[in-house]
Amino acid sequence: MVKILINIVLLLSLGATALAQPTPSVTPTPDNYVCRVILDYSTYLGGTGTIDYGRGISVGTDGKAYVTGETDSNNFPVVNAVQGTYRGLGDVFVTAFSSTGSVLLYSTYLGGTNVDTGYGISVGTDGRAYVTGTIRSSDFPWQILTSQAAREVMTLS
């Protein structure tokens, strides 16, 4: 008999006015909201741009949360990034949280000079994040995704 443990995770895009913020912005802009239904933790994820949309989330067997979406924030949080700078009209972001939600294991942009969006993310048995989405940039940085550094970052424990 196989036992399956299912974690239900919510990812909502909320306007800045939907939840109290430490420093309210003049113009409400959406940020991402990530939480487990059993509410072990919740946090914001985003920068000061007008688009910080979470589109996909997955939880690994070790409890780490993996999030993808689109951002136009040039100050989106980046940690152990394979692409550390915002390049386009909208870049994919891929972010991994520790199982407690208190540590960003990695967070990176992926994109070229046009709009690129991550829509789905899954975690393989190898612990790597697999992302699907749309790419409109003719200069999407494929070379960084095939580098050894990218493989090491995207499999951080």
In the predicted structure, residue 91 carries a pLDDT above the cut 70: yes
**Residue range 26-52: mean pLDDT, rounded:** 78
pTM over 0.85: no
Extents of the domains making up the chain: 54-153
Q: What is the pLDDT of residues 80-89, one digit of tens each?
A: 999 999 998 9
**Residue range 63-67: mean pLDDT, rounded:** 94
| CB atoms closer than 10 angstroms to residue 101 | 17
Which of 136, 148, 143 lies closest to 70 in space, CA to CA? Answer: 136
Start-to-end Cα distance in the chain? 29
What's the pLDDT score for residue 3? 32
CB-based burial label for 41 (10 Å; 0-12, 13-18, 19+): middle
Looking at every residue in the chain, the average pLDDT score rounds to 79
User: What DSSP character marks residue 90?
Assistant: B
In the predicted structure, residue 92 carries a pLDDT above the cut 80: yes
**What's the CA gap between 110 and 99, in Å, rounded?**
23
Q: What is the pLDDT of residues 117-142, one digit of tens each?
A: 999 999 998 888 999 999 999 998 88
